[in-house]
């Protein structure tokens, strides 16, 4: 993707995030998105087939950054934000939440949060699988691995929801510690 295409895509993402903070996903029209992004209809459709595809692409951009940090990618990575990844991957995610990168807090605490959490959980399960050795000592032999992975992912999502609802008063390191203690 060239620079011009990337800028257009980011403008559409920003417009979509702005609209999602104000109203339900189902009520948002492509017309509103292109007006907010200041792009043409053909330009929008050159990037996204529908607003559903836009939602999926936005979630992938927001969350793949975090999930890539756990893979074999270099420690410095860039999607729609740039950072130097270090520390646990769960702490890394919490840091981005605290910084409110790309308005992610508004999305996770908006009326549309279930949409984002469902996409988030998909990637989070993959992340948990890559980090299972971290939790190995806590797993009972009686538990199927799929249940264990789902339990860890659900615990992390609920930890994040609790932290956001509480106003993010605790440091990411503290929340990561709470999460590790709870699993």
Report the predicted TM-score, pTM, of the whole model to 2 decimal places: 0.73
Kindly tell me the sign of the dihedral angle through the C-alpha atoms of 36, 40, 41, 45: negative
Is pLDDT above 70 for 76?
Answer: no
Cβ atoms of 96 and 87 within 8 Å: the answer is no
Residue that the structure tokens 């895509």 belong to? 9
Residue that the structure tokens 């189902």 belong to? 26
Ranking 32-36, 115-119, 164-168 by mean pLDDT, the lowest is 115-119
Burial class (CB in 10 A: 0-12, 13-18, 19+), 6: exposed
For 109, residues 6+ apart whose C-beta sits below 8 A from its C-beta are 164, 165
- Higher local confidence (pLDDT), 112 or 55: 55
CA dist 79 and 173 (Å) reads 24
The structural domain count of the chain equals: 1
The predicted pLDDT at position 61 comes to 80
SS (HEC) of 122-157: HHHHHHHHHCHHHHHHHCCCCCCHHHHHHHHHHHHH
Work out the percent of the chain whose per-residue pLDDT is above 90.
Answer: 44
Which range marks the domain in which residue 15 is found?
Answer: 3-182
CA dist 7 and 15 (Å) reads 12
Mean pLDDT for all residues in the chain: 83
CA dist 75 and 77 (Å) reads 6
136-145 residue pLDDT tens? 999 999 999 9
Of 16-25, 26-35, 156-165, which has the strongest mean pLDDT?
26-35
Is pLDDT above 70 for 96?
Answer: yes
- Higher local confidence (pLDDT), 80 or 111: 111
The predicted pLDDT at position 147 comes to 96
Cβ atoms of 47 and 12 within 8 Å: the answer is yes
Structure tokens, 165: 């609802």
Cβ atoms of 11 and 37 within 8 Å: the answer is yes
The predicted pLDDT at position 163 comes to 92
Q: For the domain that residue 26 is a member of, what is the CATH number?
A: 1.10.357.10
- Higher local confidence (pLDDT), 11 or 75: 11
The predicted model gives 82-109 an average pLDDT of 71
């Amino acid at each position: 993707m060239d620079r011009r295409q990337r800028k257009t895509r980011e403008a559409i993402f920003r417009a979509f995030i702005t609209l999602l903070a104000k109203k339900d996903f189902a009520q948002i029209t492509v017309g509103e998105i292109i007006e907010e992004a200041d792009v043409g209809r053909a330009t929008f459709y050159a990037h996204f087939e529908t607003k559903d595809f836009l939602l999926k692409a936005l979630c992938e951009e927001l969350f793949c950054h975090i999930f890539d940090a756990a893979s074999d990618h270099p420690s410095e990575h860039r999607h729609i934000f740039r950072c130097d990844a270090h520390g646990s991957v769960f702490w890394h995610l919490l840091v981005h939440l605290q910084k409110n990168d790309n308005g992610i807090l508004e999305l996770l605490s908006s009326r549309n949060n279930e949409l984002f959490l469902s996409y988030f959980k998909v990637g989070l399960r993959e992340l948990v699988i890559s980090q299972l050795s971290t939790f190995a000592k806590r797993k009972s032999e009686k538990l199927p691995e799929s249940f264990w992975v789902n339990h860890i992912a659900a615990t992390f999502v609920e930890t994040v929801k609790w932290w956001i609802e509480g106003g993010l008063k605790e440091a990411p390191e503290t929340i990561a510690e709470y999460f590790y203690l709870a699993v």
